[in-house]
Structure 1
Amino acid sequence: MIRHLVLFKLNEGVERDDPRVVAGVQAFEKLGELIPDLRFWECAWNISDRPIAHDFAINSAVEDLDALQRYLEHPAHQAGVAQWREFATWVIADYPF
């Protein structure tokens, strides 16, 4: 199995209630139901207010590297990523477990 973690940081001046952000969150919330290769899917706002904290997180898992690639290329994932590019940056970690 491969764990896929993503931590998002909203761009300066962008708030959680921005309509673009709300739509982006909704798009990501649906991915667990839309992408068959996902074995585990959760996403949520970070509750930490520490200065080094990111704002939003995805924690997911796929079977193997081929499944990870199919997930990354899936149209629903690509559409969500396109939305988030407008208002956030992110870091990613993929590792076997």
Structure 2
Amino acid sequence: MIRHLVLFKLNEGVERDDPRVVAGVAAFRALGGQIPELKFWECDWNITDRPIAYDFAINSAVEDTDALKRYLEHPAHQAGVALWREFATWVIADYEF
């Protein structure tokens, strides 16, 4: 199994209630039910307020590297990423477990 973690930081001046953010969150929340490769899916807002903290996180799992590739290329994932590109930056980590 591969764990796929993503941490998002909203761009300066962008707030959680920005309509673009609301749409991006909705798109990512829906992915768990849209992409069969996802064996585990959760995402939500960070609840702490620290200078080094990111704002939103995705914690997911797929079976193997082929499944990860299919997930990353899936049209629903690509559509969500396109939304988030407008208002955030992010970092990822993928590891086997």
TM-score band, normalised by shorter chain: over 0.9
Structure 2: any 5+ residue segments left out of the alignment?
none
What's the TM-score, normalizing by structure 1? 1.00
Q: Aligned partners of 1:24 and 1:18: how far apart in 2?
A: 10
Match of 1:63 in 2: 63
| Matched pairs, number | 97
Instruction: Give deviations 1:67-92, integer Å, cap 9, x for gaps.
Output: 00000000000000000000000000
Q: Aligned partners of 2:32 and 2:62: how far apart in 1?
A: 11
| RMSD between aligned residues | 0.2
Structure 1: any 5+ residue segments left out of the alignment?
none
Measured after TM superposition, the shift of residue 50 of structure 1 is 0.6
Match of 1:47 in 2: 47
Counterpart of 1:40, as a letter, is F
Match of 1:87 in 2: 87
What's the TM-score, normalizing by structure 2? 1.00
Match of 1:23 in 2: 23
4+ runs deviating over 4 angstroms: none
Counterpart of 2:38, as a letter, is L
SS across alignment from 1:9: strand
- Identity within the alignment, %: 86
Measured after TM superposition, the shift of residue 40 of structure 1 is 0.1
Q: Aligned partners of 1:17 and 1:50: how far apart in 2?
A: 20
Q: Aligned partners of 1:23 and 1:79: how far apart in 2?
A: 11
Counterpart of 2:41, as a letter, is W
Measured after TM superposition, the shift of residue 39 of structure 1 is 0.1
